[in-house]
Amino acid sequence: MAKIIGGVTTSHIPAIANAMANGLEETPYWKPFFDGYPPVRDWLNEQKPDVIILFYNDHGLEFFIDKKPTFAMGVADEYYNSDEGWGIPTIPPVTGESELSWHIANSLVEDGFDMTICQEMKVDHGLTVPLNLMWPGHNYGHVKVIPVCINCEQHPMPQPKRTLALGQAIGRAVESFDDDLKVVVFGTGGMSHQLDGERAGFINRAFDIECLDKLVSDPESLTKYSNYDLVELGGAQAVELNMLIAMRGALLGEVTELHRNYHAPISNTGSGLMLLENK
């Protein structure tokens, strides 16, 4: 049987890719951020997951605001990144896992989640930056990745109670897959951030830390928030917290927190790195 062994929350901002490409990890600005990552990299290299299910939001590369699936997932064998205008160098493709992807897609639709199913899909920084953080030098080709996109750009957006339920439905789907696969789930993005408008640069550390605590011990309590609450408490782009909530849903039961590094601000965001082991 396939088994979800753990979950990871991580920032996905494009500035990370530029910092890595330019060797800035040890500079005073970046060090407190990058210092959090070695324990998570070590755990992944020890556990050697076969598959990463990765929740992210497409920021306009594949789905622009004229066509915006609420929930989309890839079922391809390979995913390409392309130029998003951030100056990130061209990077190698990401390996897919079509068999488990199709199993999850079928199971989700049966379960009431009518996904947009993508046999071809370009993936943006929300997916590639976290993979590069975990396997620097873009050395992630050996890991199979299933991209799951949650709309966080264009209202109306799915609410935390729905994204937690999506994660749970994916967790059940994985558990009903016959092959012995080790799966880790990533939730990328967040935490508090506002990129534009009067409150640009707004960060709410206390709220971010409360969210990280609740993701560990009481994820259901996060479903009391609407997306407007998230915007008020964490800034306009704090809706990206939905990816972290979906990740936690997929872990289904109790978890053990193995590692955490909260640092803010990094660019315009609060960065919450957390490694959870599924009990």
Q: What is the DSSP letter of 89?
A: P
Phi-psi region of 219 (alpha: psi -120 to 50; beta: other; left: phi over 0): alpha
Q: Can you say whether the dihedral through the CA atoms of 62, 9, 186, 165 is positive or negative?
A: negative
Q: Using omega within 30 degrees of 0 as the cis cutoff, is the peptide bond preceding 49 cis?
A: no
The nearest distance, CB 59 to Fe ion, in angstroms, is 6
Active site (annotated) includes residue 263? no
Query: Which residue, 117 or 152, has its beta carbon nearer to ligand DHB?
Result: 152
Q: Shortest gap between Cβ of 217 and Fe ion (angstroms)?
A: 26
233 binds, among ligand DHB, Fe ion, none (CB under 5 to 8 A by kind): none
Question: Mask of contacts with Fe ion, 179-198, x by CB under 5 A?
Answer: ----------x---------
- In DSSP terms, 56 is beta-bridged to 149
Q: Which is nearer to ligand DHB, 97 or 240 (CB)?
A: 240
**Choice among 125, 138, 142, 155 that is catalytic:** 125
Catalytic: which of 12, 59, 103, 193? Answer: 193
Enumerate binding residues for ligand DHB (CB under 6 A). Answer: 13-15, 59, 189, 193, 195, 237, 240, 267-269
* CA–CA dist 272, 9 (Å, integer): 7
Going by DSSP bridges, is the β-strand pair 116-118/71-74 parallel, antiparallel, or unpaired? parallel
Which residues does the annotation mark as catalytic? 125, 193
Which residues would be at the binding site for Fe ion (CB under 5 A)?
189
